[in-house]
Structure formats: structure tokens, C-alpha cells
């Protein structure tokens, strides 16, 4: 029964997607919007295939994915490490909370001039902006997860005379892991968005520059092809992290 219900939801999801494509094709076919600005899905698909066939779209996709992953990995490592240190210490939370609340609302675009001052219009600047913007979900989730560990578990650890490091690794980290993984999924999508924005602002080769160049030249099929590839990257990233989350948290599944 559960599998049948899951199949029904998946079929409904596919039907919604096909319905959206059909509506898009109908609007393009009837020319409710000028074709210069809105190509049909067939033209978009053909432009994407042509881009991969020539190799240009593949190179730019790889560049964007690399920036996304580099920034996200740096943000995840820093967020988990720093969040564990802050979340496991009440004094650290009291001292650092005002600073974190000051930095957290800053839009990533606001630090672009700072990044340009340090790194120039370079690949390092884009990765730095990506890391800064995707840091906060993981950092805050890790702090909350480590701070919300059951006090009874801490008391048991003290009775067993476990070291502080052992408590963090064996008790606090597994307890905070669901929050951390959920935040890392959010951070990865943020990293993808910031990679595109950084490529546009810093004139770095990638899907961001592909979309910008296509929009300036009114090549709408290439523009929408770039957007389509971004959607595929986001979907694939989410599915991969969802599978990893299911595997790492299989101990929580009811038996």
C-alpha cells in the first residue's frame, strides 16, 4: 500500500511537470508572448543539445558546478566545525551570538566589493562569496543541534567519564546530524544561486555568463537552455543529498 501511494505521488508529480511543459508550448505556439523573449520548450531543448554538442555549454556547466561545490564544501566544513565549537559551549554562544546576528542578515552581494578588493574579479572571489552565503544554514543548524542535545545524555556521558571530544563525536554530532544534513541541502542550493550571481558580477565563464550573454544578444533559446541546465543541476544535487541523508540516517527509520 505504501509503495502504491508513493507511485501515485510520483505519477502526479510527473503529470504536473508535463502539464507545465504543455502550457509553455501552447503559450509559445499561440505567440501570447513575443518569441524573441519566450521560446518554446522544443527550441529550448534543441538549443541545450546544440550547446552540449559544441562543448561550450558543457564547459560552462562544469565551471559553475565546480564553483558551487568548492564554495559549498568550504562552507560546510567551516560551518560544522565552528558550529560544533559554539554550540557545545554556552559561554561561546553568549559571546558570539551578537556578532553572528550582525553578519547573518548581510546579503552575499554586499560582500562582493570586499571580495573584489581582496581577490579582484577572479574565480577565488566567486568561491569566497559562495562560501560566505552558503555558510549560514549549516553553521546555525549545527549550533542549534549541538546546543539542543538531551541533558540526560550529557549526564550519562559524565557518569561514564567520557572526554569532551568523545561527547561531541559520539553523542552531540549524531544528535545534531539531521539538522546539519537538512541545512547542507539548503546551503547547496544557495551555493548554486550564488555561483551564477558571482559569475555574472565577476565576468567569469559559467552558466551565469552564458545567461547574461544570451540575454544581451536576445538569444532566448540559449538563455532558457542555461536556466534549464541550472534546474537540472539543482534537482540532481537535491536528489543526491537526499539519498545521502537517507543512508546516513537509516538508524532513525522505524524497524
CATH classification at residue 71: 1.10.3720.10
Mean pLDDT, rounded, for 104-112: 73
pLDDT of res. 174: 83
Question: What span, in angstroms and rounded, lies between the C-alpha atoms of 207 and 60?
Answer: 5
- pTM of the predicted model over 0.75: yes
Count of the separate structural domains present in the chain: 1
Kindly indicate the confidence band of residue 87, based on its pLDDT and cuts at 50, 70 and 90: confident
Query: Are 141 and 183 within 8 A, CB to CB?
Result: yes
Give per-residue pLDDT as tens, 222-253: 999 999 999 999 989 988 988 888 888 776 65
Task: Classify residue 85: in a domain, yes or no.
Answer: yes
pLDDT of res. 124: 84
Higher-confidence position of 73 and 92 = 73
Name the range with the highest mean pLDDT among 6-20, 91-105, 138-152. Answer: 138-152
pLDDT of res. 252: 65
Task: Classify residue 34: in a domain, yes or no.
Answer: no
Using DSSP's 3-state secondary structure scheme, residue 83 falls into helix
User: For 105, which DSSP code?
Assistant: T
The whole domain housing 71 covers 40-252
Query: Are 174 and 152 within 8 A, CB to CB?
Result: no
Task: Classify residue 22: in a domain, yes or no.
Answer: no
Task: Classify residue 6: in a domain, yes or no.
Answer: no
Query: Are 127 and 74 within 8 A, CB to CB?
Result: yes
Query: Are 194 and 127 within 8 A, CB to CB?
Result: no
Residue 254 pLDDT greater than 90, yes or no: no
Task: Classify residue 239: in a domain, yes or no.
Answer: yes
Higher-confidence position of 95 and 70 = 70
Task: Classify residue 27: in a domain, yes or no.
Answer: no
Give per-residue pLDDT as tens, 182-229: 899 989 998 998 899 888 887 778 888 889 888 888 889 999 999 999
Residue 71 pLDDT greater than 90, yes or no: yes
Task: Classify residue 18: in a domain, yes or no.
Answer: no
Task: Classify residue 202: in a domain, yes or no.
Answer: yes
DSSP assignment string, 156-219: HHHHTT--HHHHIIIIIHHHHHHHHHHHHHHHHHHHHHHHHHHHHHHT-SSHHHHHHHHHHTT-
Helix (H) and strand (E) counts in the chain: 11, 0
Amino acid at each position: 500500500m505504501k509503495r502504491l501511494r508513493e507511485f501515485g505521488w510520483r505519477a502526479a508529480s510527473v503529470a504536473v511537470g508535463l502539464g507545465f511543459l504543455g502550457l509553455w508550448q501552447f503559450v509559445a505556439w499561440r505567440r501570447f508572448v513575443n518569441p524573441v523573449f519566450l521560446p518554446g520548450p522544443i527550441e529550448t531543448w534543441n538549443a541545450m543539445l546544440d550547446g552540449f554538442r559544441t562543448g561550450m555549454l558543457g564547459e560552462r556547466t562544469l565551471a559553475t558546478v565546480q564553483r558551487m561545490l568548492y564554495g559549498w564544501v568550504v562552507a560546510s566544513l567551516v560551518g560544522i566545525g565552528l558550529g560544533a565549537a559554539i554550540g557545545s559551549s554556552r559561554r561561546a554562544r553568549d559571546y558570539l551570538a551578537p556578532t553572528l546576528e550582525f553578519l547573518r542578515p548581510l546579503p552575499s552581494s554586499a560582500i562582493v566589493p570586499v571580495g573584489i578588493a581582496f581577490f579582484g574579479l577572479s574565480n577565488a572571489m566567486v568561491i569566497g562569496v559562495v562560501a560566505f552565503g552558503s555558510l549560514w544554514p549549516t553553521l546555525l543548524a549545527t549550533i542549534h543541534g549541538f546546543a539542543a542535545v538531551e541533558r540526560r545524555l550529557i549526564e550519562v556521558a559524565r557518569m561514564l567519564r567520557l572526554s569532551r571530544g568523545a561527547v561531541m563525536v559520539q553523542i552531540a554530532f549524531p544528535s545534531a546530524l539531521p539538522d546539519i544534513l537538512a541545512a547542507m541541502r539548503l546551503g547547496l542550493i544557495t551555493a548554486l544561486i550564488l555561483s551564477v550571481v558571482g559569475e555574472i558580477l565577476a565576468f567569469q565563464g559559467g552558466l551565469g555568463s552564458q545567461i547574461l550573454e544570451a540575454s544581451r544578444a536576445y538569444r532566448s533559446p540559449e538563455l532558457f537552455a542555461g536556466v534549464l541546465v541550472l534546474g537540472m543541476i539543482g534537482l540532481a544535487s537535491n536528489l543526491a543529498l537526499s539519498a545521502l541523508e537517507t543512508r546516513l540516517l537509516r538508524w532513525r527509520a522505524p524497524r
